């Protein structure tokens, strides 16, 4: 059974593309056959984050318009045997594709892949409609900021109307030091407000910037963010993985009192 | 009041702002819902008086509440009456 997952957020710049790249890579590392589809027509980026920008010949719009076969547009990632990328078109705009065409193309890809991951553009216009049309599972990415959470709430409202099977949340760019000082909302604060299940919390980590500079995904590395993404992938395959403790070691007293709190262990 | 807020952690400030913001964001309902409300209200009222359904205004507005930045949603409806007697179909309902 293949699963079609859309990674969306509403607001731009919260880490949709980085999340898509790392989830795709992480799932492929676990042995799944994965295709990542960049649906941001006109502003393609997933190829750069994956480090595959020099190997693009055909793109999503070529497939939709019948200029090439689906297989010709798929770029094979050399790092993992089951990982493929379908890049978006840079010289076109989002009206080049309709939701119906996306559904048709993805139903074909479903026969060959375990996971189809769609990187959604920012906004709630046609690009968003195209990206969500064929998906049954949505991952909403947000950061602990008022504007990003507000947009995430709006997106969740729109997704709920579309009868998604599953809507999960990833809270990205958490800075545990700032949360401790009371200068940033915690993962639990964000969950209280949005009311959708948490798939994972990713700390704001230098290693993400360093990895992206080189076109390498961060999943599977020993960094905090790498481990967070790896745990997210394991949860997607149905494994129960405890959430990372981002706040470092706690005193014995804090651990004892923590037992009685709503969030035992205080990791969120 | 300002004085008091300055000592609050910005984490709590952000959370409170969001709560208020989302209450008003979440009430904006779709044009389809507004149309359903319009039709239902028109059909109920038509049993008591003749109204001009075409000129009826139905909208959800944000109104300032008692607190400084408090916003509350209200349902605003304006219905022009054509005749205070209902159409013949319904006259039996009025005692």
pLDDT of residue B22: 87
Q: What is the mean pLDDT of chain B?
A: 80
Tokens of A77: 């990632």
Q: In sequence order, what are the residues at sequence separation of 6 or more whose Cβ sits closer than 8 angstroms to the Cβ of residue B31?
A: none
ipTM of predicted assembly, 2 dp = 0.82
State the residue for tokens 């919390």: A201
**Which range of residues forms the domain containing residue A76?**
3-266
Beta bridge partners of A137: A5, A166
Cβ-Cβ pairs closer than 8 A, A with B, add up to: 39
**Chain A residue at shortest CA distance from B8:** A182
Domain CATH number, residue A208: 3.40.50.300
Tokens of B75: 């349902």
Q: Which helix (H) or strand (E) holds A261?
A: none
Cα(A13)–Cα(A251) distance, integer angstroms: 36
pLDDT of residue B87: 78
pLDDT of residue A251: 62
Helices B10-27/A187-194 angle, 10° precision: 20
Cα(A267)–Cα(A247) distance, integer angstroms: 7
Phi/psi-derived region of residue A72, left when phi > 0, alpha when psi is between -120 and 50, beta in every other case: alpha
**pLDDT digit string (tens) for B36-94?**
888 999 999 988 889 998 888 887 776 776 665 566 778 889 999 998 888 777 777 66
pLDDT of residue B8: 83
Beta bridge partners of B50: B83
DSSP letter assigned to residue A146: H
171-210 of A, contacting B, C-beta below 8 A? 179, 181-186, 189, 192-193
pLDDT of residue B61: 74
Q: How far is A158 from chain B (nearest CA, A)?
A: 11
Within 8 A of A145 by CB-CB distance, chain B residues are: 14
**CB-based contact A154 B19, cutoff 8 Å:** no
**CB-based contact B18 A183, cutoff 8 Å:** no
**pLDDT digit string (tens) for A5-54?**
999 999 999 999 999 999 999 999 999 999 999 999 999 999 999 999 99
8 Å CB contact between A196 and B24: no
Alpha helices (runs of H) in chain B, residue ranges in sequence order: 2-6, 10-27, 31-45
Q: CA-CA distances (angstroms) from residue A80 to A35, A76, A115, A216, B84? A: 12, 9, 14, 12, 76
Beta bridge partners of B71: B64
Number of H-type helices and E-type strands within chain A:
12, 8
| Cα–Cα nearest to A77, from A217, A267, A208 | A217
| Cα–Cα nearest to A172, from A4, A23, A39, A3 | A23
Within 8 A of A146 by CB-CB distance, chain B residues are: 14, 17-18, 21
Q: How many domains does chain A fold into? A: 1
Q: Name which of A146, A157, A183 is nearest B17 (Cβ-Cβ).
A: A146
Return the domain boundaries, chain B: 28-93
- In 3-state terms, what secondary structure has residue A3? strand
Q: Is the predicted pLDDT of residue B5 greater than 60, yes or no?
A: no
Count Cα atoms within 13 angstroms, Cβ side, for A231: 20
Cα(A211)–Cα(A21) distance, integer angstroms: 11
**Chain B residue at shortest CA distance from A156:** B26
Within 8 A of A158 by CB-CB distance, chain B residues are: none
Cα(A144)–Cα(A198) distance, integer angstroms: 13
pLDDT along chain A (268 residues), means of 10: 95 97 98 97 96 96 96 96 97 91 97 98 95 97 97 94 93 96 96 96 96 94 95 96 84 61 60
Cα(B26)–Cα(B24) distance, integer angstroms: 5
pLDDT of residue B69: 57
**pLDDT digit string (tens) for B23-50?**
777 776 667 788 888 899 999 998 888 9
Cα(A28)–Cα(A35) distance, integer angstroms: 9
8 Å CB contact between A191 and A268: yes
**Chain A residue at shortest CA distance from B21:** A150
């Amino acid at each position: 059974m293949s699963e079609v997952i859309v990674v969306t957020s509403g607001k731009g710049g919260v880490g949709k593309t980085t999340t898509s790249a790392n989830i795709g890579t992480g799932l492929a590392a676990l042995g799944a056959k994965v295709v990542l589809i960049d649906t941001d027509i006109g502003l393609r980026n997933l190829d750069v984050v994956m480090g595959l920008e020099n190997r693009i010949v055909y793109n999503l719009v070529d497939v939709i318009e019948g200029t090439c076969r689906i297989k010709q547009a798929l770029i094979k990632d050399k790092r993992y045997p089951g990982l493929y990328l379908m890049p978006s078109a840079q010289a076109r705009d989002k009206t080049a594709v309709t939701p119906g065409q996306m559904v048709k193309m993805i139903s074909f890809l479903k026969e060959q892949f375990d996971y189809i991951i769609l990187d959604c553009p920012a906004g709630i216009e046609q690009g968003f409609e195209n990206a969500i049309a064929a998906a049954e599972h949505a991952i909403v990415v947000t950061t602990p900021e008022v504007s990003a959470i507000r947009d995430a709430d709006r997106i969740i409202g729109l997704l709920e109307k579309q009868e998604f099977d599953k809507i999960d949340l990833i809270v990205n760019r958490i800075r545990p030091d700032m949360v401790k000082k009371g200068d940033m909302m915690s993962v639990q604060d964000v969950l209280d407000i949005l009311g959708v299940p948490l798939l994972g919390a990713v700390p704001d980590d230098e290693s993400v910037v360093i990895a992206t500079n080189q076109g390498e995904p961060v999943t599977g590395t020993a960094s905090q963010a790498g481990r967070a993404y790896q745990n997210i992938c394991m949860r997607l395959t149905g494994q129960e993985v405890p959430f990372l403790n981002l706040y470092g070691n706690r005193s014995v007293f804090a651990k004892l009192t923590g037992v009685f709190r709503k969030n035992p262990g205080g990791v969120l | 009041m300002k004085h008091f807020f300055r000592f609050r952690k910005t984490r709590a400030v952000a959370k409170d702002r969001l709560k208020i913001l989302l209450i008003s964001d979440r009430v904006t309902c779709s044009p389809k819902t507004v149309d359903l409300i319009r039709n239902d209200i028109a059909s109920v009222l038509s049993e008591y008086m003749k109204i001009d359904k075409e000129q009826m205004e139905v909208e959800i507005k944000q109104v300032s509440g008692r607190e400084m930045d408090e916003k509350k949603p209200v349902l605003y409806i304006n219905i022009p009456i054509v005749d205070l007697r209902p159409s013949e179909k319904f006259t039996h309902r009025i005692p």
